[in-house]
Structure 1
């Protein structure tokens, strides 16, 4: 049989709580309760969140802050009361609440099996989980000192041995604690420092001799209770703070900070601060907040000039400042920062000094001031100024940063003849603005007077004015008098005996007469020369009196812009296409205003002015455009540009009026229209020569062919099919549309015509009876007859040519000409090539087509207007009447 369930000596809280808080709590406990045993735990926060005082109505029970209820002495439920009350109080809110606790004896059960016994053991453990142990640090013993006992309820049925491990037992610090094997008593062997080891957690074991563990290992906490063994200490050996003088009471100076190694949030670490002493020992100047350590100004008048710094001895004490608390002292140094609350004052109110006339940049006097503010600070740095007597700015006063003295200097030469003495009033201020101290009156600025005696010296001539400006027109003639520059003796006020000269090494544009001081030009003044800086030149002039004393003056020669440049067009060559958009002509002029823009444009040629017009665009540009539909060609238009000063610039504007869409399409060939002289080009002359040779060849052929009586011979079909088309006309046919085509006479009654366009000549030939018509382009220096004669046959007697003979004559020439026709101006091949046509019995009324055919009007035919007299008659025969 399994042993009977052990009697539960101490149980943990199980227990049933009333549904409503602050009413009743029931704990199930054994009938016998030992002292200092846990009865149960109550949720105090649920009843009263902020409870200041927790007490029990029954002295046999005590209640901890976490709600744990312990017995204070051993008691039995059969003899003692089973009910008591927990009282909760909130002092600030004046609230009191109660919790009623009922203790009910736990029922005893006897398990029948080992399994049931183990279950009961696990559920009813009480003494195996005692409350954490407490050991006071630095305990005096005696040692070993018992601090707790752990017992297992299974000891009633088994022989139980106890053991433990963890920090303080078998871990560092080893040997501090041990547990008795038979009793479970835990002992400490020596004192412990809480600051080093605030708590220990050891693991306790309960086992039978045969190694059975009826209990789960227990984690037991040993807390070291703090002892006030550490005095507070300041975080710094010396605290240093600064505060401006004359600060108002309550201004924060700084904060001292102290720490304590004892347990936080206890009286052992509750610190209080106070000022022990102040140096110098005068009226307390600062206050120290006891809880925060903040130092503030207490004295309403902190004067750095009286006390530059204070030394405070401060104390910090724990236990909330109680006399029995531990304390430490520290040092605080408060420096008083300077403010400009003291105005500077002169050591003397009157000064006298002497200086020679005409001396420049010389020190004549040093002035000192007294300032009680901190030396070297902006509050004591002196700033001097001349208040009166320096209207001509002849004096200047500065501050010596090392000595804080005022240095009076002469910046312009003084004139003894003008004033024998000068009286100056000098004032002084500080670099920093003046701050009025409390309970003090505003001070006026400190001033002093300085009398400067001017000493007479024998001085050289003086130019009046010292800088003479002369304006000279640009491009003035050499030798032109532009002004006069003379000096005077300051003592006598006249210019007698003074000679003038210009030292070498300067721009040699002018010279000066050594006696009269008259200035004349020696070169043509030009603003564009590099020696002139922005159109002006400064020249130093010397004046020398009889005693050899020298004075200097400066002549500033300023060149007034003149009208020396002609306006010019920036571009003179233009191409105008068939859209005839206006051309923008823009002019430039090297002169400055008022001798440059705005410009006026004019066309000087009357005939061209009737064909072209000019319209204003802006000050610099005008538009050039044709009037009406004038012919294509190259026009050279004389355009005059007149600047604002009336100077005229002549320009020739060359306009190529071209039949093109874009300027790049214009072939650039020279043409002269609208009244220009007619000139023949190379190709026109060549065309005329070829035409003449062709005409001579036709006449010879007519004489050879038809002179023997063959004129009356009828033309056969073969002749018609293989030779030129018959054209019995003496004037151009209706199909000839161009008035510049020169007809060719046939060598017999059969024939056709050739079309000559420039250097090109086109023959139309037919091939009858199923043959095709070919358009060929041949040279004018050979004839078909000559080709046939070259073959050893006579052609004059037959007036017939076979197709092969005509083809051999024309084909090489056609290939050459067509190849040329297939290349346009940009050397790109055209779309033309040899074309074959069926014979239709006569020449086509449409004439030839393609690039090898007759060109359009006004395209490269202007050479016909330039024919010499002996060719003009031939050209007129081709004009359609």
Structure 2
């Protein structure tokens, strides 16, 4: 029982506490509201109101927030004992429309918050701001031709007062217009905060170039209305509402025939529009001149029209010309006129626009241009004549007769003919009759003829002062005759063919200055003994092939070639052909240089080489005089000496016998050597005998004399050249005194060389054969043997000779040298 009683007491306490808590929480959210009039002048401080709360004990009141310690600071305060709220200064609505604060009541005994309230102070707006234009003033330019009822300008204003009250709303009003004219009226319409400006009537630049409008914006305040004004300046741009008018002209109004580029007239214009503006600048149009003899332009300074003749006129065709001129401005014409000023809506106006059906027609200004007669030159009738004649016509043949007339009506005069341009003096001209005849044979292939045409210029001259001249042209078309033979072209006179085991060929081309059928195709015919050597294919033709038969060896050939045209008219010509080994010199380019015309640089090189050679010869002469070599005399040959030497490269030759190869072959076999050298393109002086062995003093001559295949020649000539070059350079003075031995050696050598070469074919191809290696003893001596009878061979001559000759002797007579 006691337990239940205890539980009941606890439950009632909890309910009581809960009820008390709800009541205190509700009082905490109570908000009081106050109102302050904006800009209230006081006196300050004054009581705004009192905050009341239920209390059974002493409390202190506190106020915080906007207007107290938060901006705007110091506006409000509260009496801590009574709860009265005081106002200490003015508040601006536009800056702080509402002040929000917090109120607290604290128990004096324990300084705990008893009550907390939210307080709101509203600032009541007053009409303290007038509407303001943005921008404050306006300016705009409008064309004079702007139609009425069209929006000109929009103005804008704003009010900082409360827009939901009459203090923040306003209206626009047109206060004044300066100047006042009877042709236009301005008005303003409002749409919300925008004021739109329009006008009625017609703008006229001549009546007013500028209008100033005063626009007012006034609010609707209850106690007082505030307003402001804006100045609107409208600049009127002069448009073309006045037509230009031609008032007269200056100038003679006369021109001479055949005269151009001369000013005939200057036309004056009057225009009421602003000078210098596009509405004032004149633009002229010329009428009645379909041939375009004249042109008219505007003087940019005076606005005058300048009439100029640009195409020569002929007095004989017309003595005068009537033309008309109209003028307008650069911008289209526009005109507006007020007919009736209606009280409502737009006015009744009449407008004119250029190009419309109501436009005023342009007036024409007529002038007459007189043409003065002057002396005209005589004229050929016709000025150009063409004739056809065969070339090589007989001298004196009549070609053509020119006729001329004098177009003058008032200047009658006589005239004569004269020849102008006749590049090759082919014709004669009779000065009285104008008859043209052949003066010398005409050649269609002449360089003065172009496309088979030759032109002659003739003049007709009157006897006036100064004399005037007319020009005529005679065009002579020349017919072709077969008066030229086909000739080889320059690059076909000297041709080159490669050497090969099979047939080779090259192109040759001829040309004929005549026209078909007197020219190509040509017929080529080789003259002389050419069977099995040369032939032409194909034949006939313009460019053909010269074919070398396969058995023809290398060398230079001069062929006789007859070339005939399509009518059989021809001529025998020389054709130079070079057959050469293209494996050594590709395409025979080296041989081409022989026929090439030397250039200035090549001539300079040749001169330099000649001077250099001359210097070497002088040095050799000096050396030969200063250095004497000890000579070894030989038997029966007082003039023949061998230089004593036991080294591989002895000194320089000092003496060359002048009559070594001058004996006839029937008397002396040396002549065969001379013949062999000539047969291989080698002069006698290039071939000498050294120790009984034929040797060439130039490496190129060795290659030409002993030419076989490229492989055989490249190896054999190197070895032979090494030996013979050394012998020729070091032992050129060695000559045997035994004439029989010398003759036998030469006969044997010539026979061997002649056997190697068949005049009708090239040397055969042989594999290279090595018979010795430099610096090693000779083991293989399988060379061609030179057989010399023992009775003609004197071995005593080899007693004092060096190893080189012994090697040669061993090859010739091995049994004697063993």
**TM-score, normalization by structure 1:** 0.47
**TM-score, normalization by structure 2:** 0.50
Give 1 or 2: higher helix fraction: 2
